[in-house]
Chain A
Amino acid sequence: MEWIVPKLISEILKWVLLVWLAVVIVAAFLYVQPAKSFIGESSRIVFFHVPMAWVAVLAFLVSCVTSVMYLRRRNPKDDIRASVSAGLGLLFAVLATTTGAVFAKIMWGAYWNWDPRQTSITILLLIYAAYLALRGAIDDPERRASLAAVYAILAFVTVPFLVFVVPRIYWSLHPDTIINTRGANEFDSRYTQVLMASLVGFTGLYVWLYTIGCRIETIRQRRRQEVL
């Protein structure tokens, strides 16, 4: 049973992804000049930090959408999709936080200073850790699925406040997001090329991990039912 694409295509895509990510990593270090407004080589971390943050938000969006779908259709596969995506979102949010902290140390002299962006990602991490804690606390699979779906939707509602409202109310050191409010781009064209390629690559990585996660979880549930 395949989750998204037939076996041969998925095998080819896997290799394309591998080559693509390898090229992105090499390009991030050799093809692009460091941006002028950043200290030393620190601007290169943007190629990894921004995609991690993007994938984290995307994963949470998928988790929210599949939760809504579960509540509408009551298909257990949607619950598996939501939980796998939330787990991956948590992983990528941790990676975004770590790469962000390294960047903060170089640019602003401290790994952590409770900048509004750091505050909001911390709350995001807490939300999805709580989501997984809730899943662990309910025995009945159907009740677990629907209550977790409700919490995932509630949690996703707070994301816009964290991402958009909190950084607006507080003064932040964080650079403007790449497509910033003035619509201007502070980096040269090579920079944009690599960043876009990296965004595509890491999104592909997320899709791959997501399909594997869904398959593993399906097999695990089937085995549990066989045991019972």
Chain B
Amino acid sequence: MWRWLAEAMAVAAKDLRTEFRTRVAINSLGLFALTVLAAVSYTVGPYRIAAEDRPFLLAVLLWIVIFFAALAGLDRSFVKEEESHTAPLLRLAASPSAVWFGKLVFNLLVIYMLMAILVPLYCILMGYTIVMVWEFVLILALGGYALAVITTIVAAIIARALTRGALFSVLSLPLLLPLMIFLIQGTAGVAEGMPEVVSSTVRAVLSMGGIMTIVSAALFPVVWSD
């Protein structure tokens, strides 16, 4: 167990180190998010949306920015192993489940880093007031986790296909859309202060993240070794 965890952490640490060396994923995610935020803030701004529509519409824009930014860079975790031909070595060095967990931790850290910068900036620039702040943090954390689980397994699949770039969004988005619907509803709920909406969102996102974790942990060895 500890050996497995050490392997997984070594994979995550290796990915973080190479990522900070080249900054491909962080640059593409971060710059994409900041560019879209600037565009949204310039065109919509804090005053263009009527007060009663704000909680919902601003939640929609926020999650669109986060999801599309994630789709712009998270496939790197596996694609770079195939492109630099380091995947066979990684197969020898660590067990499949440790590789999966390490990559998941890396993707999760990247998403949380993105959120930590993007969400406060978004709230300031768009004048988005949140009534239930801690619940908002919980929804962001759970949403980020489910997003990381789904993008990790899809990235592993597309890394072994021919047309990688376009395929990542095509395969991820349909799986992510139900999650996005839940998260938008929940975020509108925390902005307006509606505990019952928040609790149903948390339950839906938790169950989706949970089931995706189990299914991808079971299926990853097939994707990785075949």
Contacts and interface: CB of A to CB of B under 8 A. Distances in A.
Interface of A: 71, 119-120, 123, 126-127, 130, 133-134, 137-139, 142-143, 146-147, 149-151, 153-155, 157-158, 161-162, 165-166, 169-170
Contacts, number: 86
B161 A137 contact: yes
A127 B174 contact: yes
A161 B222 contact: no
Given A137-B162, A138-B161, A158-B178, A153 B215 contact: yes
Given A123-B177, A126-B177, A147-B160, 14 more contacts: A71-B219, A71-B222, A126-B173, A127-B175, A130-B170, A130-B171, A133-B167, A133-B171, A134-B158, A134-B161, A142-B226, A146-B223, A147-B226, A165-B204
B96 to A, nearest CB: 13
Nearest to A116: B181
B171 A143 contact: no
Q: Could you tell me the dominant secondary structure of chain B's interface residues?
A: helix
Contacts of B208: 158, 161
B122 interface: no
Given A133-B167, A150-B157, A154-B215, A143 B226 contact: yes
Interface of B: 153-154, 157-158, 160-163, 167, 170-171, 173-175, 177-178, 181-182, 185, 200-201, 204, 207-208, 211-212, 215-216, 219, 222-223, 226
Contacts of B161: 134, 137-138, 147
Nearest to A122: B177
A119 B181 CA distance: 10
Q: Could you tell me the dominant secondary structure of chain A's interface residues?
A: helix
30 contacts: A123-B178, A126-B173, A126-B174, A127-B175, A130-B170, A130-B173, A130-B174, A134-B161, A134-B167, A137-B161, A137-B167, A138-B162, A143-B226, A146-B226, A147-B157, A147-B226, A150-B153, A150-B219, A150-B222, A150-B223, A154-B215, A157-B215, A158-B174, A158-B178, A161-B178, A161-B204, A165-B178, A169-B185, A169-B200, A169-B201
A151 B168 CA distance: 12
A130 B215 CA distance: 19
Contacts of A161: 178, 204, 207-208
Contacts of B207: 161
Name which of B154, B173, B201, B219 has the most chain A CB atoms within 10 A of its CB.
B219
Contacts of A150: 153, 157, 219, 222-223
Nearest to B208: A161
Contacts of A153: 215, 219
Contacts of B177: 123, 126
A133 B157 contact: no
Contact of B170 (A120, A133, A146): A133
Contacts of B154: 154
Given A127-B174, A137-B162, A154 B216 contact: yes
Contacts of A142: 226
A65 B167 CA distance: 24
Contacts of A169: 181-182, 185, 200-201, 204
Contacts of A137: 161-163, 167
A126 to B, nearest CB: 4
Contacts of A133: 167, 170-171
Contacts of B181: 119, 166, 169
B226 A155 contact: no
Nearest to A147: B157
A67 to B, nearest CB: 10
Given A138-B161, A138-B162, A147-B157, A123 B170 contact: no
